[in-house]
Amino acid sequence: MSLKKLWTKVKRVIREADVVLEVVDARDPYGTRSKELEKIAEAAGKPIIIVINKADLVSKEVMDEWKRVLNREYETIYISARGRLGTRKLWIAIKKVAPKKTVKVAVVGYPNVGKSTIINLLRGRHSAGTSPIPGYTKHVQLVRAATWLRVIDTPGVIPLRDSEEELVFKGALSPESLEDPLPVALKLIKQGLLKDPEVFKKTYGIEGDQPLTVIENLARRRGLYLKGGRLNIEEAARIIIRDWQQGKLIFYYTPEDYNLK
């Protein structure tokens, strides 16, 4: 399905809903929010709840900071859908912004932020297809999460102007879809070293304070060699991107990184 069609679909879902849950990634809530989606919801007169998901990857202090900052704009909560933590918080927030007898909620956001996992959490069992493969949810589906609650899952939508690099950082584009993963991986490593100089040591037990050295050391550590004995740098680059997207390589952004206090 083309991106344009996806946007049309998501617009329709938002118009149909009483509340819009905008799901963002705890590691970069600001970078993974979508002003486009917020504009659509506002134009349609629908209240927005920002759901910071994957809170298990970030310290509680930083989660509280993000909540405080984002609360100035929209009702904001943080949860860990995979950890099955946050159902009550979600219910309370939904009831607060939409005090109706039955409420229809649209779950929107970038691919891979955890929309389907949140729906499973709300249903209390596993069924909406979740996948670490960005873009897996292809169809809109409506599920009954509680007697008073209907939830609509949506395919992840990405702004038309995001660069390939931004999409990889936000987890919306898989490393397999990149022709050359090296430049993006190098940038990612640079960011990681800035945020936490020890992160690659902690994650892989490897040394290196330069992006390329980190990749080379990972390739060595994993025994990734090409025919002829050269290091398979590309494969190591993909591993780093994948581990970041799947939350195995962990570093994160704070409001200060965006000059927000």
Ligand X SMILES: Nc1nc2c(ncn2[C@@H]2O[C@H](COP(=O)(O)OP(=O)(O)O)[C@@H](O)[C@H]2O)c(=O)[nH]1
32 binds, among ligand X, Mg ion, none (CB under 5 to 8 A by kind): none
d(Cα 98, Cα 70) in Å, to the nearest integer?
A: 19
Contacting residue, 88, 102, 132, 190, with ligand X by CB under 6 A: 132
Contacting residue, 83, 124, 197, 205, with ligand X by CB under 6 A: 83
Site string (169-208) toward ligand X, x via CB under 6 A? ----------------------------------------
d(Cα 33, Cα 195) in Å, to the nearest integer?
A: 20
In the sheet that holds 19-25, the strands lie side by side as: 75-78, 48-53, 19-25, 103-109, 149-153, 141-146
205 binds, among ligand X, Mg ion, none (CB under 5 to 8 A by kind): none
Tokens of 89: 């918080």
Give the single-character DSSP code of 150.
E
Contacting residue, 82, 150, 170, 238, with ligand X by CB under 6 A: 82
157 or 218, CB closer to Mg ion?
157
Give the single-character DSSP code of 103.
E
Query: Which positions ≥6 away from 234 have C-beta within 8 Å?
Result: 180, 181, 182
DSSP letter string, 65-95: HHHHHHHTTSEEEE-BTTTTB-HHHHHHHHH
H or E element, residue 183: helix 182-195
CB of 88 to ligand X, least distance (A): 15
d(Cα 42, Cα 66) in Å, to the nearest integer?
A: 21
Considering only the stretches 32-40, 107-115, 196-204, 213-221, report the one whose residues sit in contact with ligand X under the rule CB under 6 A: 107-115
124 binds, among ligand X, Mg ion, none (CB under 5 to 8 A by kind): none
Contacting residue, 116, 120, 174, 203, with Mg ion by CB under 5 A: 116
Considering only the stretches 48-56, 68-76, 186-194, 213-221, report the one whose residues sit in contact with ligand X under the rule CB under 6 A: 48-56
**Number of H-type helices and E-type strands within the chain:** 10, 6
Site string (228-247) toward ligand X, x via CB under 6 A? ------------------xx
Contacting residue, 48, 63, 98, 113, with ligand X by CB under 6 A: 113
Residue 54 touching ligand X (CB under 6 A): yes
d(Cα 166, Cα 169) in Å, to the nearest integer?
A: 5
- Give the footprint of Mg ion on this chain (CB under 5 A): 115-116, 137
- Give the footprint of ligand X on this chain (CB under 6 A): 53-54, 56-57, 80-83, 111-117, 130-132, 136-137, 156, 246-247
